[in-house]
Structure formats: structure tokens, C-alpha cells
């Protein structure tokens, strides 16, 4: 398939992915990211692809129903947690995307090897019902497929937001059995910070699983990232040795919570230099694959800020990793990515934050490519605004930034930042809060409303999104 190769452009700041003008059979080529000094971020990928289905950009927040005519209102909060898996056994990797409401969209690959094409989606089912995990905020329910019980069927696993459980849908002929939560060998749910659930349950939130035979015993062990920035291992001990520990016969059990030894392990303890540049990253999402082609499974990790890191497996007798290398930078605004303003009918996605990662050989050249799901927000201007109205709109943005500075809000200076989560100072100062809300309402006069119940603040005008990007090497 012919594909446009877009050259890296020399600009003086980190740019979000800009959309190119040409669409190509199920995907769209986009311009590549660069460093702050204008040099290319790296030479490891040749193009970035924004995935489409039926000619339209895939957006998990859109109200496009499934092929069966089903759509869920809760999915309007966006977020995309993608993975690739040959779901129907035809030899082609299909696209599965978890959303913020905990369900999973299946886009069957209708293309050819090395040239994927997607059309409509269906919701993945388990035990005759739409499969769902408890996920109601702030992250995508990222799916992962692996045969963790060794019965020859690929199982569906997914993390969750609160309190951070790992869910298992056992694979069987023709689909999946009902959802179960994974437990340790004593029957307790696998939670990364079990000892802090009462005092700080949020620390274990947003658990995301990946699978790797950590100790080379033939069983897939559980790698978990969470909101706090932990990256841990729970070893797979196989089926429970006593009846009643798990609800399903043959369900694997995992090491207990206690840190160290034969229990929960901190991945960063076997990384050269520890977490290093990942020290302050949060909402870690791991993926496993031989990224450098040396025969050893490496780790790729997505983060809240949008940055993505590569941890190279050193290939020794004991598993260890090189210091994290950044593959993609954090996006503008980092964890509090600002909404971008668009004109009616001219929405163009930019890569968002909350990077949910996976690996696949997208173009069939034998080399793994990087898949990134994200979360972003947009504001749509009303149609027919005059030049004077647009200037007034710009002036109000400046006023809001000035108010943020006066209130002591930490940078960046972005009027359309994620105000619900990044401007807590206003909750403690009624006068400043009223001033901010008045400015938001004035800005709303120039924007298309989205949620009529929230028009007293900018959230009532924000559209949330969840897109999937593929970085092809």
C-alpha cells in the first residue's frame, strides 16, 4: 500500500502531532514530533498513523453506535486503551480498545497482512453479556490478551480505576467466561498498595496489567502499573493448592502483597539507576515485547503526562533492565493537557495525555511498532464569530491566565487547562473562585455547548476524546 512519508519539521518547541492532509485506506498519516531545540526526537520511527474506521477517525467518545446499534452514554468521557490481538483467528491482528466506562470495542481487521483496514465495531462479550470492568474515571480500561492459565485459550485481562483490581475473563471456545478478579494465593484481591487502601486508596488506582514470564518457570507473571507511578511484579503461582480460594477451577493465583522476596516486587529495583527520568511520572501503563529484536522481552511504559519510555532487557541470568529511554515526550501541558480550540467542522486531533501503550507489527515487516491510546479535550467555537468577537475571546483567555497567576496556580499558563483537576487553589478561596467562574461563563458565550447541566463552567463546553496512534518503525 502506498503511504505518504512525512518529514520531520524543524520547530522551536515540542509540537503535538499535526494532521496531514491525506487519508489512506483506514488510517491517516501525521507529522512527527520534535525536541524543544528543533531537532528530531529520534530516528526510531518513520511515520505516525492516526487510526480510522469506516473512513472516520476512531474516537471512543463519539456517539457512533456499534454495528448492532449499541452505544453507552458513559463512554462520552473519551480515553483509549488499545491493543492488537487476532480475535477471530484469521491471521490478522484485530484492534481492541478499552474506554473510560470499562467496556471493550472490537474492530475486526478487514485488510491484508501489513495493511490493516477497520470498519465498524462490536462490544466484546463475556458469558453472553457486554464485558465490563469497574472503570469510571480518568483512565481507559486497557485490555491485554494472554493465556495466563495455560489452557490453550487467550484470556482477556484488564485493570480498573478504583480500587485498582485486575480482572480476568477466561478464554474458551467461542468467547469468554464471566469476569473474575485475580487474587493472591490466600484469596485476597491483587491490589498494588493493599496496605494503604484504608488511608489512601487512590494510590493503587488506575491499575494496568501486562504479562511476562519474569522467573522463566513457564507461567506468565503479572506486571502492574498504577496511578502512583509504581511498576510491580506479582508472580504467577499457578492454580490454587486448596479448594475455595478462587471461584474458577484452574484460575491462577499470584504472590501476596508484601514487598520484596517472593512477594510483590518493585520493577525499578532491577532497573539501572532506578526510575530515573520516570521518577515523577504517574499512571504507568506497561506493555511487553522484544522492542530491540535481541530475543529478550523488554518493557514499554506509557504515562499520565503522555511520555512513553523504553526499558531494555539486559538479557542476563537474572532479569534486569537498562535505564529508561524516552521514546515520546510529554504532551503540551503534561497531565493537565489543555483543551484545543477548533472551528466548527474543523476538528483535528492532537496527541493527548494518559498514554496507554501496546505493541504490534502493524506493517508486517517483522519489527514491533508502538501503539498509543490517549485522552484529549476540545472546545468548538460558535460559527459566524466576527473578528471583534474573536479578539474579545482571546482577551478573556489572557484575563484567565492572569487570574491563575494571581491565585498561585502552577504553570503552564494555559487558559483551557484541565481546571477541574489542576486549579484546586480556587476551592479554598471563594472570591477567586467566583471570579474564575465569571470568566469561564463569559468565555462560554463564544463556544458551542456540550453539557447543558454544566454551562456555568468551561466543562460544559468541552468535548472529550480518545484516539489511537501507531508509530511505525
Is the Cβ–Cβ distance between 94 and 116 less than 8 Å? no
DSSP string, 451-465: -GGGTTSGGGGEEEE
Q: What is the pLDDT of residue 63?
A: 93
Q: How many domains does the chain have?
A: 2
CA 26 to CA 391: how far, in whole Å? 38
With respect to residue 30, please indicate whether it lies within any of the assigned structural domains: no
Residue 395 domain-assigned (yes or no): yes
Do 269 and 412 sit in the same domain of this protein? Answer: no
At 25, the pLDDT band (50, 70, 90 cuts) reads: very low
Confidence of residue 17 (pLDDT cuts 50, 70, 90): very low
Residue 289 inside a domain? The answer is yes
What's the pLDDT at 413?
84
Query: Is residue 373 located within the same domain as residue 434?
Result: no
For 320-333, what is the mean pLDDT? 94
Question: What is the rounded average pLDDT of the residues 1-19?
Answer: 30
* 293 within some domain: yes
Residue 16 scores a pLDDT above 90 = no
| Tens digits of residue pLDDT in 207-261 | 999 999 999 999 999 999 999 999 999 999 999 988 889 999 899 999 988 765 5
> What is the rounded CA–CA span in Å between residue 243 and residue 245?
6
- The verdict on 247 and 346 lying in the same domain is yes
Contact by Cβ (8 Å): 393, 382 = no
Q: Average pLDDT over the chain, rounded to whole? A: 88
DSSP letter string over 106-151?
Answer: EE-B-SBTTB--B---EE-EETTEE-B-S--SSS---EEEE-TTSS
Check whether residue 428 and residue 282 sit in a common domain: no
Q: Name the band, by pLDDT with cuts 50, 70 and 90, for residue 422.
A: low
Distance CA 355, CA 308 (A): 7
The predicted structure's pLDDT at residue 409: 85
The rounded distance, in Å, linking the Cα atoms of 365 and 46 is 13
Q: pLDDT band for position 334 (50/70/90)? A: confident
Helix locations, 156-213, DSSP H: none
Same domain assignment for residues 360 and 392: no
C-alpha closest to that of 16 among 473, 459, 467, 323: 467
pTM of the model: 0.90
Same domain, 261 and 404: no
Question: For the segment 255-294, what is each residue's pLDDT rounded down to a tens digit?
Answer: 988 765 558 999 999 999 999 999 999 999 999 999 999 9
3-state class (DSSP) for residue 49: strand
Is residue 157 within 8 A of residue 119, CB to CB? The reply is no
Quote the cell numbers at residue 36: 524543544
The DSSP bridge pattern shows strands 369-380 and 340-342 to be: parallel
Q: Based on the domain organization, do 215 and 304 belong to the same domain? A: yes
Q: Is the pLDDT of residue 391 over 50?
A: yes
CATH of the domain at 269: 2.115.10
398 and 303 share a domain?
no
Domain annotation covers residue 9: no
> Are residue 427 and residue 335 in the same domain, yes or no?
no
CA distance 386 to 439: 20
Mean local confidence (pLDDT), 49-75: 94
Q: Is the pLDDT of residue 423 over 90?
A: no
Across the range 174-191, mean pLDDT stands at 94
Beta-ladder partners of 301: 286, 309
Rounded Cα gap, residues 256 and 265, in angstroms: 10
pLDDT for 38 equals 44
User: Is 1 a member of any domain?
Assistant: no
Segment 31-41 shows an average pLDDT of 48
Q: Is 90 exposed, middle or buried (0-12, 13-18, 19+ CB in 10 A)?
A: exposed
Q: Name all contacts of 230-234 with Cβ < 8 Å and 24+ positions apart.
A: 230/192, 230/193, 230/266, 230/284, 231/266, 231/267, 231/268, 231/284, 231/286, 231/299, 231/301, 232/192, 232/264, 232/265, 232/266, 232/267, 233/264, 233/265, 233/267, 234/184, 234/190, 234/264, 234/265
How many Cβ atoms sit within 10 Å of the Cβ of residue 231? 26
The pLDDT > 70 percentage for the chain reads 88
The predicted pLDDT at position 36 comes to: 44
CB neighbours of 145 closer than 8 A, spacing ≥ 6? 83, 85, 96, 154, 155, 156, 157
One domain, residues 148 and 273: yes
Q: Is 39 within a domain?
A: no
- Boundaries of domain holding 420: 387-445
Q: Indicate whether 438 and 292 sit together in one domain.
A: no
Buried b (16+ CB within 10 A) or exposed e, 405-420: eebebeeeebbbbbbe
8 part of a folded domain: no
Residue 375 has pLDDT above 70, yes or no: yes
Q: Minimal CA–CA distance to 375: which of 305, 314, 295?
A: 305
Chain-centroid distance of CA 80 in Å reads: 5
303 alpha-carbon distance from chain centroid: 8
State whether 277 and 372 are in the same domain.
yes
Amino acid at each position: 500500500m502506498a503511504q505518504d512519508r512525512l518529514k520531520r519539521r524543524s520547530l522551536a518547541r515540542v509540537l503535538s502531532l499535526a494532521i496531514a492532509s491525506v487519508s489512506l485506506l483506514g488510517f491517516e498519516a501525521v507529522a512527527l514530533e520534535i525536541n524543544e531545540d528543533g531537532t528530531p526526537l529520534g530516528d526510531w520511527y518513520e511515520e505516525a498513523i492516526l487510526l480510522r474506521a469506516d473512513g472516520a477517525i476512531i474516537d471512543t467518545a463519539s456517539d457512533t453506535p456499534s454495528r448492532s446499534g449499541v452505544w453507552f452514554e458513559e463512554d462520552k468521557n473519551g480515553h483509549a486503551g488499545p491493543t492488537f490481538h487476532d480475535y477471530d483467528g484469521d491471521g490478522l491482528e484485530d484492534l481492541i480498545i478499552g474506554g473510560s466506562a470499562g467496556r471493550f470495542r472490537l474492530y475486526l481487521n478487514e485488510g491484508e497482512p501489513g495493511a490493516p483496514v477497520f470498519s465498524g465495531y462490536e462490544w466484546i462479550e463475556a458469558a453472553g453479556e457486554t464485558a465490563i470492568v469497574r472503570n469510571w474515571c480518568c483512565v481507559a480500561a486497557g485490555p491485554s490478551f494472554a493465556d495466563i492459565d495455560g489452557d490453550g485459550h487467550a484470556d482477556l485481562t484488564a485493570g480498573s480505576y478504583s480500587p485498582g483490581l485486575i480482572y480476568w475473563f477466561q478464554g474458551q471456545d467461542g468467547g469468554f467466561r464471566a469476569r473474575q478478579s485475580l487474587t493472591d494465593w490466600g484469596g485476597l484481591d491483587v491490589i498494588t498498595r493493599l496496605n494503604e487502601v484504608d488511608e489512601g486508596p487512590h494510590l493503587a488506582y488506575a491499575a494496568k496489567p501486562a504479562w511476562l514470564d519474569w522467573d522463566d518457570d513457564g507461567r506468565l507473571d503479572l506486571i502492574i502499573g498504577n496511578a502512583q507511578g509504581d511498576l510491580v511484579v506479582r508472580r504467577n503461582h499457578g492454580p490454587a493448592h486448596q479448594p475455595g480460594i478462587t471461584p474458577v477451577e484452574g484460575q491462577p493465583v499470584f504472590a501476596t502483597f508484601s514487598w520484596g522476596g517472593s512477594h510483590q516486587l518493585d520493577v525499578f529495583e532491577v532497573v539501572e539507576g532506578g526510575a530515573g527520568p520516570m521518577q515523577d511520572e504517574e499512571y504507568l501503563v506497561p506493555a511487553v515485547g522484544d522492542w530491540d529484536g535481541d530475543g529478550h522481552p523488554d518493557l514499554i511504559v506509557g504515562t499520565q503526562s503522555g511520555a512513553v519510555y523504553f526499558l531494555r532487557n539486559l538479557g542476563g541470568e537474572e532479569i534486569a533492565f537498562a535505564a529508561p529511554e524516552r521514546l515520546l515526550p510529554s504532551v503540551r501541558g503534561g497531565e493537565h493537557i489543555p483543551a484545543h480550540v477548533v472551528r466548527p467542522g474543523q476538528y483535528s486531533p492532537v496527541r493527548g495525555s494518559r498514554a496507554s501503550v501496546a505493541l504490534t507489527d502493524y506493517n508486517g515487516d517483522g519489527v514491533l511498532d508502538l501503539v498509543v491510546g490517549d485522552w484529549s479535550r476540545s472546545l468548538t467555537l460558535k460559527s459566524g464569530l466576527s473578528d471583534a468577537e474573536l479578539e474579545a475571546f482571546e482577551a478573556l483567555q489572557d484575563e484567565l491566565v492572569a487570574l491563575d497567576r494571581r491565585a498561585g496556580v502552577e504553570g503552564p499558563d494555559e487558559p483551557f487547562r484541565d481546571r477541574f483537576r489542576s486549579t484546586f487553589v480556587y476551592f479554598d478561596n471563594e472570591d477567586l473562585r467566583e471570579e474564575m467562574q465569571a470568566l469561564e461563563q463569559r468565555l462560554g458565550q463564544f463556544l458551542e455547548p456540550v453539557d447543558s447541566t454544566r454551562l456555568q463552567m468551561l466543562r460544559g463546553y468541552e468535548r472529550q476524546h480518545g484516539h489511537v496512534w501507531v508509530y511505525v518503525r
